[in-house]
Each structure stands twice: as C-alpha cells, then as structure tokens.
C-alpha cells in the first residue's frame, strides 16, 4: 500500500475511533441516567466494580478527577449505598469498596438490557465482532506510542 493510502487509512481509523468514543460516552450517559446516577458517579462505580477496592486517590487518577472531586463522588456513592470506605486492618490506608449487592440490584439490570439489545443487533455478525475485539486489543499498543512521544522531544512530526 503506498504511503499516501496508509495515511488515508490511518486518518479514517482516527475519525471512526473518535466517533466510537463519542458513542461510548453517550451510552455511558444513558446507562447512568437509567440507573439514576450522575455520569462521573457511574464511571467511578464501574471502575470500582471492575478493579476492586482502591484508594480515593487511585480512583481519581483512573477516572480523571482531582482528589477532592473523587472524595465528593465517594461521599455521594456512600450516601446512596453504592460504596463504602474501609480502613485496612494491617495499615492506615482507607480503601473504597463497591457494594456488590447494590450493583447487582441497581446497575446490572440496565447492563443486562444493554447486552440483550446489543446481541439482537449483532447476532448474525459474531465473526465480525471477533475481528473488532482483536483490532481493539491491538490498538492498545498506542500507549507505547504515547510513551515514545513523551521521551523523544522531536519524536513526532507530520
């Protein structure tokens, strides 16, 4: 494939990826609304359920919040029964724990409905989904490119 065609393909991938992220954000907004949470609260709860208990500082980093914002979200999640803070017995660290029962009762029905609707849309194209999963997994290697760009001052030119 000639160089210009490669660039065109990469630009098309960038456009499609941008659209995909925008759609994913709208989907998260819809799920959060359905569950009755603010989007940031939903994202924090999702991270806690996926990755397990963690400090509010770590949660802030993973979700892209300040520590103060994360503390406010955790306060709200605690008040609403979605999470709790617990001091570790062997240290002074306080970790935020998701309430799995609340998640199961309040969040999982919305996720189940989403999966069922998604399956209805794609059930005849499952082979294509395997290809998409592989492509997405490979695209995570872009993180290596970000590291390279940070290390090499003149490492990226157009």
Q: What's the pLDDT at 155?
A: 46
Selected residue with higher pLDDT from 116 and 102: 102
What gap in Å lies between CA 133 and CA 148, rounded to an integer?
25
Q: What is the distance between the alpha carbons of residues 67 and 59, in angstroms, rounded to a whole number?
A: 8
Q: Is residue 133 part of a domain?
A: yes
Domain membership of residue 110 (yes or no) is yes
What phi, psi does 5 have (nearest 5°)? -65, -40
Return the residue matching tokens 């849309």: 121
d(CA 97, CA 95): 6
Q: What 8-state DSSP symbol labels residue 96?
A: E
Percent share of the chain, pLDDT over 70:
76
Q: What's the pTM value of the predicted model, to 2 decimals?
A: 0.72
Task: Report if residue 140 sits inside a domain.
Answer: yes
For residues 87-104, give the mean pLDDT. Answer: 91
Q: How many domains does the chain have?
A: 1
CB-CB contact of 24 with 9 (8 Å) = no
Q: Which domain holds residue 153?
A: 100-158
Q: Does a structural domain hold residue 15?
A: no
Distant-in-sequence, close-in-space partners of 51: CB < 8 Å, separation ≥ 6: 62
Average pLDDT of the chain is: 83
Asked if residue 10 is part of any domain, the answer here is no
Residue spans of beta strands (DSSP E) within 70-142: 83-87, 94-98
């Amino acid at each position: 494939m000639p160089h210009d065609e490669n660039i065109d393909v990469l630009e098309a991938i960038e456009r499609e990826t941008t659209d995909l992220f925008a759609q994913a954000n709208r989907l998260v907004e819809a799920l959060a609304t359905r569950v009755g949470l603010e989007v940031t609260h939903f994202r924090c709860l999702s991270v806690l359920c996926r990755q397990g208990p963690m400090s509010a500082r770590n949660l802030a980093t993973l979700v892209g919040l300040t520590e103060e914002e994360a503390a406010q979200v955790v306060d709200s999640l605690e008040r609403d029964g979605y999470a709790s803070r617990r001091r570790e017995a062997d240290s002074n660290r306080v970790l935020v724990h998701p309430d799995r029962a609340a998640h199961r009762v309040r969040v999982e029905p919305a996720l189940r409905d989403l999966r069922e609707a998604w399956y209805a849309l794609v059930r005849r194209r499952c082979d294509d989904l395997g290809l998409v999963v592989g492509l997405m997994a490979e695209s995570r290697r872009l993180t290596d490119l970000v590291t390279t760009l940070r290390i090499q001052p003149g490492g990226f030119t157009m």
